[in-house]
Amino acid sequence: MTTPATNPLVLAKTFGQRLWLDNLSRELLAGPLQKLIAEDGLSGVTSNPAIFQKSISAGAGYADDLAALKAQSLSAEQRFEALAVPDVQGACDLFASVYRESNGLDGYVSLEVSPYLARDGAGTEAAAKRLWAAIQRPNAMIKIPATAESLPAFTAAIAAGINVNVTLMFGQRDCDAVFDAYVAGLRQRLAAGGDVRHVRSVASLFLSRVDTLIDGKLDALGGAAVALKGKAALAMVKVAYARWMARWNSAECADLRAAGANIQRLLWASTGTKNPAYPDTLYVDNLIGPDTVNTLPDATLAAFRDHGKASASLSVGVAEAEATLKALADAGIDMDAVAVQLQVDGLKLFDEAFDKLLALLA
């Protein structure tokens, strides 16, 4: 039987990592979420269009509210927000004590702006500010995609003191651009006389989709390239994390650290393994380290609780990770091109989920 002293979910926190659940529904709010917080040390929750589409279409807890909303002259998107915002508020309230006791480090709940706005920076900024005002919780986070068009909206949100979860990052280029946008937002806030000490942000780097796409390319290449399968995402993360931490702790950000600004934590997303040949805790066991978050789907959370290994693994094997990235490049794998393709694909998937969701609410 797992106890707090042996539960990997709890032990991960001793190595500086926080674990969030990649799910949100009224069924979860009715009891299971509180148990996960109390027994497993869960530190937050994320949501996205696909998660809400699945939860609302399942019907649990939404039927009466949905019927009432359909009787009102509202757009489908307004009906969605009328359902989602109370869910986020309820989850924020369940995490309120976690937020307070951690001095604002933990206890966050994310809600994403409409995926239709991904290429509309002004629309993204307006939606982020509107949703932040609607939720009215200090431990909410607004999710903004890491598209070139939306990164200025991210900067503006940070400057306005809004907590942000930057999503749909797939590589080093994304990491560098998001880091720059965060730093710019903090400096704008400071220049306007604002307080940066309570602004929090995470940068969500997606993992399993990277391996899925690159593994297919390696299979097509054949020969020695096949030995690199299942290694790209871990290598990319270890190198990106080392660069991220070095930049934040360098003279480049000394002014921000002196002002009490918080590091934007890297967050591992898409951590459920899609290849059944790989260990089901592959993207958890190997990526535990300070100032990071891992968002786990329900099945991955259960697997890590059952047989995961909590250790300071993230900074282990960085030289090997660099060698792996070089080998991938030598084999003809362009990691930047992969990141661009995966972001386009990810936006399409979120659009499709949102299409289905709004059709359900129309």
The neighbouring-strand residues paired with 205 are: 169, 268
Question: Per the structure block, which two tokens stand in for 185?
Answer: 């937002």
Whether 203 and 175 have beta carbons less than 8 Å apart is answered as yes
Residues with Cβ within 8 Å of residue 224, at least 6 apart in sequence:
none
Q: Which pair of tokens denotes residue 183? A: 């730093």
Question: Residues of 183-208 as b/e, b for ≥16 C-beta within 10 angstroms?
Answer: bbbbbebbeeebebeebbbbbbbbbb
Q: Measured between alpha carbons, how far is 353 from 144 in angstroms, rounded to an integer?
A: 17
Fill in the DSSP letter of residue 142. E
DSSP codes joined into one string, 319-348 = HHHHHHHHHHHHTT--HHHHHHHHHHHHHH
Contacts of 351 (CB under 8 A, 6+ apart): 115, 116
Contacts of 238 (CB under 8 A, 6+ apart): 287, 314, 315, 317, 318, 321
From 70, 143, 309, 356, the catalytic residue: 143
Question: Is 229 known to be catalytic?
Answer: no
CA distances from 184 to 46, 190, 219, 233, 268 (A): 25, 10, 41, 28, 23
Query: Catalytic amino acids?
Result: 143
